[in-house]
Chains A and B, each alone.
Chain A
């Protein structure tokens, strides 16, 4: 696991706040070497990251670019932590 990217419509506001949350959660889970970035929908490409995090409204637009983690409440840190933990567990990293 090297990189997580957070994506929203214009890659300015909400994806950036999600990025800050992801960084906090990663720290809590004890991952220090995963790169986290944010960008817009138009800049996504297949293989852009190991995990894409976005609002559930953008899930259909993004799932073709790789493993995508949709959030129902994009600012809910608990939801984010639960879902990230689940992904890490299936990958055998936790």
Chain B
């Protein structure tokens, strides 16, 4: 009897450990595809290992962010928030890993289902963004009061929807950029890319393409994200440490190093943490995406793959750098506005700092979209607006993230934020309101396909 009881306990412990649960999901998936034993072992271990590494990176990030948050608050008397998907997702996975893993699997199935039976024929292949969106949805819906199987199903349907709706929003401009209708665009800031494309149409009349000008090549070293994160975090860290002064660093934070050396080391620690989280994410998704793609190819043969943002970079390399720099300027302008108005409390006592990764990838892509519709004027104005929008939007998201809203980091790209805000808004009317919203939205593409089919007959 004792043996049986301890066996039951062991199994329930096993299943309640999210990292192992994910390993089991991957294991089942690999066996279902009749993979060789060596591949099953490798894939399962790497998925669990990847999740573990994300957690290790999270610990490092938290250490650096905690110091930064204290310094920023002491220096400017307001809470500073560094938007960074990797940081917030690694924190979210501490408490929400099981829900995230389950929602990710259901969401991918939902994506295939929608692509198969409706006119939204996109298969979203940017695996890390699927993971981040799954984490966001599991946080918002859990805070709303959903749990268990209902949470996984509603969350998965919501995720599946985002995986086709956002590529559809980006698609008209995407066709213009690539010159064909074959590939979709899958990077979760489509709201600001669309905005940048529309702004480009408005302001870009007769403006020449960014690619017809000479742009300094020396700036391209910033394309290395570990360099650009280190550099921007260093600047921000130096500012808050210098304003706070050596006495605060030594006496309150208890740091024995010289305060400038401390700032230098902590900013690189943050960059190191992001690097580690990315390594973990890479490991997790590299086992999941090929399986997802395999199923999708089988079930929805004619679907358009929605691909990660660097797909558009080779079409306009100058717009990439212009977009990054101008979007970053937009982020700085927005931060200045929040700092100036901090006492009026219109922004809820928070200041969003310009996070380099979002401005880098999202800003660069906004630049390419703006350039496609409005030349260099479109690229500049579009990416500036992008920078301002992704700085202000997180303020609306933070209240719906529960305890994570008080972390000194948050989601950075517009589609995560937009989806979180919409789900969070409906959640204020109760968990049934938000569930109903998801179910209704989920049925719309099928309904539309059904009606258009009937009309055609």
Interface on A for B, CB 8 Å cutoff?
8-14, 16-17, 20, 38-42, 55-58, 60-61, 71-75
Contacts and interface: CB of A to CB of B under 8 A. Distances in A.
A56 B357 CA distance: 21
Interface in B219-267: 220-221, 223-227
B110 to A, nearest CB: 20
B88 to A, nearest CB: 16
Contact of B308 (A17, A56, A61, A71): A17
Interface residues of B, number: 39
Given A42-B226, A61-B220, A61-B224, A13 B310 contact: yes
A14 B275 contact: no
Contacts of B281: 12
A41 B224 contact: yes
A79 B188 CA distance: 27
17 contacts: A10-B357, A12-B128, A13-B186, A13-B187, A13-B309, A14-B310, A17-B305, A39-B282, A41-B223, A42-B227, A55-B313, A55-B314, A61-B220, A72-B314, A74-B310, A74-B314, A75-B311
Contacts of A14: 307-311
| Best-surrounded residue of A9, A14, A17, A75 (most CB of chain B within 10 A) | A9
Contacts of A11: 278, 282
Nearest to B317: A57
A13 B223 contact: no
B453 interface: no
Contacts of B118: none
B290 interface: yes
Interface in B292-319: 293, 305, 307-311, 313-314, 317
Contact of B127 (A12, A55, A61, A73): A12
A9 B361 contact: yes
Contact of A57 (B126, B225, B285, B314): B314
